[in-house]
Copies of this chain bind each other. A is one copy, B any other.
Amino acid sequence: MTISREDVFDFLENYFNSSHFVDHFNFNPSNDHKYNQRYILNDQYALNNSPIFFYTGNEGDIQWFCENTGFVWEIAPKFSAVVVFAEHRYYGVSLPFGNDSFVDPNINYLTSEQALADYAYLIKFLKSDNPKLKNSPVIAFGGSYGGMLSAWFRMKYPNIITGAIAASAPIWQFVTECDAFQKVVTDSFKKSDSDCPDAIRSSWDVINEFSKTPKGLNDLQKIFKLCSPIKNAQDLKDWLADIYGNIAMANYPYETNFLAPLPAWPVKVMCKNITKSLNKTDPLNLLESIYSGINVFLNYTGQSKCFDIDTDTPFDINMVSWTYQTCTEFVFPMCSNGIDDMFEKQDWDIIEYNKDCFNQFKTIPRFEWPIIQYGGNQDDIKYHSNILFSNGDLDPWSAGGVLKDVNSKLQAVLIENGAHHLDLRESNAHDPDSVIYARLKEIDAIDTWIREYNLNFVLALKMASIQKDTVEN
């Protein structure tokens, strides 16, 4: 028995709100403001001590994650689990100051530490609200930033979280070589079509050449069907690079609608469009080929007439909130060298990065903080337990992930031909064996954690009863 897609969508209506302190780490009496966090709850299978499957929402509307995390819904009935999807503060409708949430000083309560404390309070509330759940084990789930949160939740609150599935969670991206991400993107493209990376690599110079004259800029606008004129080559190149990264993340073996509506194996389709009538000696042909490729990402459904490189966020992220997070706690150094990857050489420019952050938010990122707070390598996390890290080898974010077992309590599973948290998606006839294996391993880990928890629980009850007998006799 599984919960069908229709069931999931039914539950999308099951929104609840839980009231939390906006600031968990400060007792400022004038600042005991509370806000309503939205969460989705399905307790139709609840028995006594049913496990709670708790998705630690990430940088977007919780509905989006709920729809793209079929794995949790599929396995919940097997465990008689209660399913909760909690929305991250400052995303979706969980806005501590409503529409005024995104300006200083209101935005400054947007941190991962505050979000984890929200989740801890929410679980405490759920356990007190339903007597059946009073002694329930809690398994955290999350993908991407949500996976980082689920891992950190277990690390920082093992009193509340029994175990965590951290899918495609780049918890070490802060200290990973800055070109690692783009290398994986490139490898992923090469795997799909060996000629594709070269074509893309050649395109940057051509774009630079076009951009030298007003006519060339005008031509670029036409070739890439941009709604507005472009002012320089850089904006266009950044936009293209983002598209390549995003399509690599969503390179799933079947048609999906995660970051955009996409065909099966979209990188292959994109690359085929790029290389099929490619004439490298003809600059215009090269750019038109590139356009034909990215059109797979932008316009698979054929709805769009033109594209806006400034404002098009193809998915349901609140970019102001996420950019704020990358300008405070989460700096992921990024660069490319143009040799081992298909991108234009671009150094990691920390000064420019800081300047952009300061201009937008007046913040100065604290690069060292996540490493102090959460650790930056295998040695830093080795004392933790009950976290399973999964990564797909096609996923650029795997560069910052935990790819090898740290020890028997901190295991890793690498999904061959897997893109960004493929394992969290609902099962599909086109799933590679690797993801079927990963999901079985995840189910096994969850099962082990719950058994251990229940065993401990029974032992504790027995000890309490022995002590009671001793006192009474």
Interface residues of A (CB under 8 A from B): 21, 23-32, 104-105, 108-109, 111, 113-114, 117, 120-121, 124, 156-160, 328-329, 361-364, 366, 368-369, 372-376, 379-386, 456, 460
Contacts and interface: CB of A to CB of B under 8 A. Distances in A.
A310 B249 CA distance: 66
Contact of A385 (B31, B329, B383, B460): B383
A27 B328 contact: yes
Nearest to A453: B379
Given A159-B380, A385-B383, A456-B379, A28 B124 contact: no
A382 B27 contact: no
B158 A28 contact: no
A366 B386 CA distance: 29
B29 A364 contact: yes
Contacts of A27: 108, 111, 328-329, 363-364, 366
Nearest to A457: B379
Max chain B Cβ within 10 angstroms of own Cβ: one of A25, A113, A384, A456: A25
A39 to B, nearest CB: 17
12 contacts: A25-B25, A25-B26, A25-B114, A27-B364, A28-B104, A29-B361, A30-B104, A32-B364, A120-B373, A159-B380, A382-B456, A383-B385
B383 A158 contact: yes
Contacts of A117: 372-373
How many copies the complex holds: the figure is 2
Nearest to A358: B29
A174 to B, nearest CB: 13
Given A29-B362, A385-B383, A160 B372 contact: yes
Contacts of A383: 158, 385-386
B25 A372 contact: no
Contacts of A382: 456
B379 A28 contact: no
Given A156-B156, A159-B375, 20 more contacts: A23-B26, A25-B25, A26-B108, A26-B109, A26-B111, A27-B363, A27-B364, A28-B105, A29-B361, A29-B364, A31-B108, A32-B364, A120-B372, A120-B373, A124-B368, A158-B380, A158-B384, A159-B372, A159-B379, A159-B381
Contacts of A157: 372
A375 B120 CA distance: 12
Nearest to A162: B383
Max chain B Cβ within 10 angstroms of own Cβ: one of A28, A30, A328: A28
Max chain B Cβ within 10 angstroms of own Cβ: one of A30, A109, A160, A369: A369
Contacts of A369: 24
Contacts of A28: 104-105, 108
